[in-house]
Chain A
Amino acid sequence: MRKPAFQKVAAAMEIPADLAEKAALVELTGQNFLRVENYLGIIEYTAERLLLQCKNCRLEISGKNLLIELYAREELILRGQIEQLHYF
């Protein structure tokens, strides 16, 4: 019961979801540049697919020639031909 109440307070104070709930923050620039924040880790990575574990969901990025340009605790920068983003 505590979680919905906290979410209500956060919504009332208009705190963004990426701060309040640590929701994944995805910034997509064009088709070739993707920046992800608030993720927990990599589950699978190939040149065609990157599967990330986020706090509340999983994020699958499909494409071609995917290259992780930067991988740190805070952010991940991906380059390549991005074709699909899939949350599940």
Chain B
Amino acid sequence: MKGELALLKRIRLLRKGFVKVHICGGNYERFLNLCANHGILLWDIQPAQRGYEAKLYRKDFFSLKPLAKKCRTRVRVRRKYGLPFFLYRHRKRKVFALGLCFCGFFIFFLSCFIWNITIHGNLSISRQTLMEYLASRQITYGTRKSALDCRQLAADLRNDFPGIIWVSVRLTGTYLQIDLQENTDRPEAETENAPEASDLVADADGTIVSMITREGLPVAGKGDKVKKGDVLVKGEMEITDDADNVVNYRYCRSDADIYIRTTIPYEDTFSLAHEIITYTGRKRYAVYLKLFGRYFGVDPGLRCFADGDIMGTERQLRLPGNIYLPASAGILSAREYKRTVVAYTKEEAIALAKQKLQKFLLENEQKGVQIFENNVKIEVSTTSCRAKGTLTVIKKTGRSVRIKKSDFPQEGTNE
């Protein structure tokens, strides 16, 4: 706050214009007192060269003459500061002034549009989806700020994306910021889209190691060997009379946690010969300016290297106070490299094959698959390396399959 006040004070001083004067000769203490009594504000008074140096407003300087005459002091201007002096000095540079005015007007004009959109907090809804949604509502880069209703947009986002439980839309300067929070506790899509009456069938061959049925009639149990497509839990339950005749059916959406032990094949082959890239150290740089989607810049031959890569960094230009401009500046750098073909040694090839296998196992573990047994063998020939075998895993199974209802009226209904 103190810093802001000092800055405002400084801006006010420069706007009004002030001068640094040297006061000497005569009775200069009396001169200072007369200035104070006539309402002339002096600051930064310090003794200098048989007199004083002080600062005062430009308009007050013209009132000093009679006071100086009365005290027989001499007042000399040492330095001038501020906008009035700047304008006077550059009074003949009309085009410059015009350019300055045009620049100010142009920045004001640009500040009426949205030039930056950020979205935070989206997990399952991609930024592209949200940007397309905004575009469908005519909200994109370059949209007029007055055309945007933040409250309405937030409400529409909540309505059109049921997964969003909280959303905040803020417009600061030319910067549109959308913060949202998604519901991470939503039921799985499969359950939502599952048919009304369904069986659970095995999606791989294997042996059931664990089975907990929540709804439906289990037709297999722990230890049973099942094949792909076998029904594990039935969604159709027969209702019989005393003579064991089927009189009705009850249908439900089967639901169970079924884990089976199964084997999955694994094979990975790669050539021992491979290319490695060595940077030579030769670099080239280029700078560019992107204005309204068009690129302006100097290309000093970035593509002169036969083998090289080009990398770039780009930053959107902005004024203080989140005023983003439709302009970006960037630097491109091209680096030359050499390709060399080398062959893996046997140890390197085995290590690489193991690394790939570990990555595969890790990816499966992240999906909830437990690795029970690993029967993968790595063989290295003169030209290639091959990892082949099977993995015994315990994984969740059970795919919902819709049931065709029989003609019997369902129990509990009036059909």
Q: Which residues of A contact B (CB under 8 A)?
A: 41-47, 67-73
**Contact across chains for B43 and A45 when beta carbons are under 8 A apart:** no
- Of all chain B residues, the one with the shortest Cβ separation from A70 is B43
A68 to B33, CA, bound (A): 13
Q: A42-B29, A43-B29, A44-B29 are known contacts. Are A71 and B36 too (CB-CB below 8 A)?
A: yes
- Of all chain B residues, the one with the shortest Cβ separation from A80 is B46
Q: How far is the CB of A58 from chain B (nearest CB, A)?
A: 13
- Of all chain B residues, the one with the shortest Cβ separation from A45 is B29
Partner of A73, one of B39, B45, B52: B39
Q: How far is the CB of A24 from chain B (nearest CB, A)?
A: 15
- Give a binary string over B36-50; 1 marks a CB under 8 Å from any A CB, 0 the rest: 110101111111000
Residue B334 is within 8 A (CB to CB) of chain A in the complex: no
Partner of A42, one of B33, B39, B41, B47: B33
**Contact across chains for A47 and B44 when beta carbons are under 8 A apart:** no
**Contact across chains for A46 and B45 when beta carbons are under 8 A apart:** no
26 A-B pairs (CB sep. < 8 Å): A41-B32, A41-B36, A41-B37, A42-B29, A42-B32, A42-B33, A43-B29, A44-B29, A45-B32, A45-B45, A45-B47, A47-B47, A67-B45, A67-B46, A68-B43, A68-B46, A69-B44, A70-B41, A70-B42, A71-B32, A71-B35, A71-B41, A71-B43, A71-B54, A72-B36, A73-B36
A72 to B42, CA, bound (A): 7
**Contact across chains for B52 and A45 when beta carbons are under 8 A apart:** yes
A73 to B39, CA, bound (A): 7
**Contact across chains for B45 and A71 when beta carbons are under 8 A apart:** yes
**Which residues of chain B are near A41, meaning CB under 8 Å?**
29, 32-33, 36-37
A47 to B45, CA, bound (A): 10
Closest 3 CB pairs of A and B: A41-B33, A68-B45, A71-B42
**Which residues of chain B are near A69, meaning CB under 8 Å?**
43-44
A19 to B99, CA, bound (A): 55
**Which residues of chain A are near B42, meaning CB under 8 Å?**
68, 70-72
A65 to B334, CA, bound (A): 58
- Of all chain A residues, the one with the shortest Cβ separation from B43 is A70
Q: How far is the CB of A62 from chain B (nearest CB, A)?
A: 14
Q: How far is the CB of B6 from chain A (nearest CB, A)?
A: 13
**Which residues of chain A are near B39, meaning CB under 8 Å?**
73
Q: Which of B36, B42, B44 has the most CB of A within 10 A?
A: B36
Q: How far is the CB of A12 from chain B (nearest CB, A)?
A: 34
Additional 17 contacts, C-beta under 8 A, given A41-B33, A69-B44, A73-B39? A41-B29, A41-B36, A41-B37, A42-B29, A42-B32, A45-B29, A45-B32, A45-B45, A45-B47, A47-B47, A68-B42, A68-B43, A69-B43, A70-B42, A71-B32, A71-B35, A73-B37
Q: How far is the CB of B49 from chain A (nearest CB, A)?
A: 12
Q: How far is the CB of A2 from chain B (nearest CB, A)?
A: 27
Q: How far is the CB of A79 from chain B (nearest CB, A)?
A: 10
**Contact across chains for B41 and A72 when beta carbons are under 8 A apart:** yes
Q: How far is the CB of B25 from chain A (nearest CB, A)?
A: 16
**Which residues of chain B are near A47, meaning CB under 8 Å?**
46-47
**Which residues of chain B are near A68, meaning CB under 8 Å?**
42-46
A41 to B39, CA, bound (A): 13
**Which residues of chain A are near B37, meaning CB under 8 Å?**
41, 73
- Of all chain A residues, the one with the shortest Cβ separation from B39 is A73
A44 to B44, CA, bound (A): 16
**Which residues of chain A are near B45, meaning CB under 8 Å?**
45, 67-68, 71
**Contact across chains for B44 and A67 when beta carbons are under 8 A apart:** yes
**Which residues of chain B are near A44, meaning CB under 8 Å?**
29
**Which residues of chain B are near A46, meaning CB under 8 Å?**
47
Q: How far is the CB of B73 from chain A (nearest CB, A)?
A: 14
A44 to B52, CA, bound (A): 12
Q: How far is the CB of A77 from chain B (nearest CB, A)?
A: 8
